[in-house]
Amino acid sequence: MRAMTLENARAYEAELKASADAERPAFHLTPAIGWMNDPNGFSMYKGEYHLFYQYYPYDISWGPMHWGHAKTKDFVTWEYLPCALAPDTPADDRGVFSGTALELEDGRQLLVYTGVYGRENMPADLHGYQHQCAAIGDGINYEKMSVNPIIGADKLPEGISDIDFRDPKVFKSGDYYYVLAVARVEDGTGSAVLFSSTDLENWVFESRIISCEGRYGTMWECPDFFPLAGTECLTFCAHETLPEGLEFHAGYGNFFFIGRYDIESKTFVKDHVQAVDYGCDFYAQQTLEAADGRRIMVAWMQNWNDVHVKGADTKTFGSMTLPRELSIKNNRLYQWPVREIENYRSNHVAYKDVKVSEEMSLEGIEGRTIDLNVSIRPEEDGSFRRFSLKLAKTDGQYAEIVFVPEDNIVKFDRTYGVSRYDYVTTRKFYVEDKGGALDLRILVDKNGIEIFANGGAQACTSKIYTPVDAGDITFMARGNCVIDVEKYDLCK
């Protein structure tokens, strides 16, 4: 059996380089080889943006977790760096799980992650126990701290289990370092727990800043906590979410709380609750503050429920979303593709005031690696009832976006993709009532689609499974509507 060492992982990467993969997206980060899940350590270091990720180099399925590593100057073109962490110490021999990173004042880079480890006589069905560990390095090589774990089970108050205690978010405020992790509490559901330290070695438990209260799923994962537009935001993912209207769907959910941290009670007070993304595939989001002050979010473009849906020729598995700029308007999160993607646009094709009823295509509006803007408005005859846009289309296979103006509902539908698996294929979300008008920006990149409605008030991200060269686009309406369409190819 191969030893899960860093040397082995790096040698394997060097041997394989990047797998030739026709499905590999052009501008979404994928692993050079193997499997990728959550973004980790998304942060600025020495003026560049680093993104680590949950990584198993040896297969296209989840395995003993490593940290893969890449960096970018513009969030679009990535440079792969050697594997950063492997599960190779007693504190993390069952996996180097998710975490975050921070540039230290002395110029080194701190990685804080969950070490999963085994104990003698532990239950056979248990993957391991979890605690928080750290490694420090120079942007390529990292040394795990000799005191690992830095935050062990002994730091947890009564009632909080170290079987589910993970995904530390590290940040600094004043003289203190903080770690916010998620943990399963007495009622079996999730909470976020805060620790502080002045020296990175000695940590004290501060408080349970917020708990699930039987809502927002069961066990939580991957918390992030940051200021935005005069508010404080807490975002995380959850298992076993219960559906709530069209806001939350069942299963692996993503959540965004706008509120504030109350220093007295050491708790997070939430004022507004919403989903981050309404699509089929969006999980484990993380943010950073860019050099120019923008808050940028990236997520794993996947859902644990559909990781088994793989094409026959898949050579690597998993990708990130395109990083997004976040803002808050009218107490809602807005998301917009990083502006740097606009530098990769070419072949502009535009149409104005096109009347749509029967299914139609427009010369030059096509492609599978595109930035597409569609503005829809009703015809004055009052007949407009339904709009449909099909893309990634070929002979009976397509992904579809449907807008029902009467209900202010947008539906994403990938039912007629190529997959033979039975999996979630549709998601719906509400948009603002604009009298039957809707603006869509749609980024398509081979096997993924990101939809931004009405300037980013809603985002909807999903994998798509039609053949990767299927790029036809059609428009259709029940009743009459008018559209403006603009398409760019995106290339590097």
CA pair distance 37, 51, nearest whole angstrom: 12
Which of 145, 179, 284, 464 is the binder for ligand FRU (CB under 6 A)?
284
Which of 9, 29, 51, 65 is the binder for ligand FRU (CB under 6 A)?
65
Q: Does 78 bind ligand FRU (CB under 6 A)?
A: no
Q: Does 83 bind ligand FRU (CB under 6 A)?
A: no
Pairing of the two strands 316-317 and 34-45 = parallel
Q: Judged by CB, which is closer to ligand FRU: 180, or 457?
A: 180
In Å, what is the CA distance from 199 to each residue of 44, 104, 150, 177, 226? 21, 11, 11, 8, 22
Which of 98, 285, 335, 369 is the binder for ligand FRU (CB under 6 A)?
98
Min separation Cβ 65 and ligand FRU, Å: 5
Which of 221, 325, 400, 450 is the binder for ligand FRU (CB under 6 A)?
221
Min separation Cβ 258 and ligand FRU, Å: 23
Which of 50, 69, 71, 166 is the binder for ligand FRU (CB under 6 A)?
166
# residues contacting ligand FRU (CB under 6 A): 13
Q: Judged by CB, which is closer to ligand FRU: 166, or 368?
A: 166
99-118: which residues touch ligand FRU (CB under 6 A)? 114
**How many residues appear in the chain?**
492
Which of 222, 451, 468, 481 is the binder for ligand FRU (CB under 6 A)?
222
29-58: which residues touch ligand FRU (CB under 6 A)? 37-38, 54
Name, in order, each residue with C-beta under 8 angstroms of 322's C-beta and a sequence gap of 6 or more.
Answer: 27, 28, 75, 76, 298, 337, 338, 341, 443, 445, 450
Q: Judged by CB, which is closer to ligand FRU: 110, or 238?
A: 238
Q: Judged by CB, which is closer to ligand FRU: 178, or 252?
A: 252
Min separation Cβ 97 and ligand FRU, Å: 3
Name, in order, each residue with C-beta under 8 angstroms of 173's C-beta and a sequence gap of 6 or more.
Answer: none
Q: Does 167 bind ligand FRU (CB under 6 A)?
A: yes
Q: Judged by CB, which is closer to ligand FRU: 257, or 283?
A: 283
Q: Judged by CB, which is closer to ligand FRU: 65, or 309?
A: 65
Q: What are the residues binding ligand FRU (CB under 6 A)?
A: 37-38, 54, 65, 97-98, 114, 166-167, 221-222, 283-284
